[in-house]
Amino acid sequence: MDKSPAPTDRQTDRSYHHGSLVDALVHAAVELIEVYGVEKLSLRAVSKKVGVSPGAPFRHFKTKSELLKAVAEQSMLRLTQAVNASLAAQTSGDPVALLGAIGRGYLNWALSNPTHFQIISSRTLIDFHSSKTLVEQNDAIYKLMLEQVTIGQAAGAIRGDASAHDLVVNARAFVYGLARMAVDRHFREWRVSGDPRQAAAEALNLYLRMIATSS
């Protein structure tokens, strides 16, 4: 029989390197939110789930809000990856098709990661603008969209009765609204049947036809 003593809290804490502990805490936070909701999340609960001492999370996050911001930063990295992957898979250079690829990347990510989507979307849970990662990567997606709309308008492929910026904001609002309805399970109340992903994809295609100069 193994009579070696059980590891102490300090020994357990030391088993994590700086980065791996942060990743573990973020992962545990998402899992706890999915089960109990964000309101019941606490640093103590996260430390218990990870198996470290109650004080361990405070070396990296002073407050629950800071931990949620780290979750949002992870979410933004994954969203950026999803958008870039969707763009890379788009074989057509048509600006409307590329704008659609950005939208599909966003929708697929949001529906696959509803908890991450909920946190990154909230401005009451996180201080979005205090994070360089969140601001810069959100701005990068805005610029991707603006580039395609500008090219499309110059080529006569996208309607020109609104500024490129206004169309980008409109497109973002539309895709965000679709994601919100799907994640919050509102489709049924609006008589949308079938698979939510397919329904969202069809709605996006309809929107793209509406802003294009020809269908």
pLDDT of 62-121, one tens digit each?
A: 999 999 999 999 999 999 999 999 999 999 999 999 999 999 999 999 999 999 999 999
Distance CA 19, CA 67 (A): 14
pLDDT at 30 over 70: yes
Does residue 51 share a domain with residue 131?
A: no
What is the pLDDT at residue 79? 96
C-alpha span between 86 and 201 (Å, rounded): 13
Mean pLDDT computed over 30-56: 92
> 32: domain CATH number?
1.10.10
Q: What is the mean pLDDT of the chain?
A: 90
Residue 60's Cβ-side half-sphere holds a number of Cα atoms within 13 Å equal to 23
Same domain, 96 and 185: yes
Query: Does 177 lie in the same domain as 144?
Result: yes
Q: Taking CA 64 as the corner, what is the angle to CA 33 and CA 115, rounded to the nearest 5 degrees?
A: 25
Under the banding of pLDDT at 50, 70 and 90, the label for residue 214 is confident
Query: What φ, ψ does residue 50 adopt, rounded to 5°?
Result: -75, -30
Provide the number of structural domains found in the chain.
2
What's residue 4's pLDDT?
40
Q: What is the mean pLDDT of residues 24-47?
A: 93
d(CA 46, CA 178): 31
User: Chain-centre distance of CA 81, in angstroms?
Assistant: 10
| CATH at 82 | 1.10.357.10
**Residue 142: strand, helix, or coil:** helix
Res 38 pLDDT > 70: yes
Mean pLDDT, residues 27-46: 93
Out of 13, 39, 61, a domain closes at: 61
- Residue 19, pLDDT > 50, answer yes
- The span from the CA of 66 to the CA of 71, in Å, is 9
pLDDT at 33 over 90: yes
Say if CB 60 and CB 53 are below 8 A apart: no
Residue 58: pLDDT band with limits 50, 70, 90: confident
Closest C-alpha among 106, 121, 94 to residue 211: 94
* Residue at which a domain ends, from 61, 78, 105: 61
Residue type, 24: A
Shared domain check, 151 and 121: yes
The residue among 61, 78, 111 that closes a domain is 61
Is 55 found in the same domain as 80?
no
Cα 16 to Cα 10, 12, 43, 82: the distances in Å are: 11, 7, 17, 29
pLDDT higher than threshold 80 for residue 24: yes
Across the strands, what pairs with 70?
A: none
For residues 147 and 129, state if they share a domain: yes
Residues 50, 36 share a domain: yes
Instruction: Read off the pLDDT of residues 176-192 as tens digits, 9 standing for 90 and up.
Output: 999 999 999 999 999 99
Q: By residue range, what is the domain housing residue 93?
A: 64-211
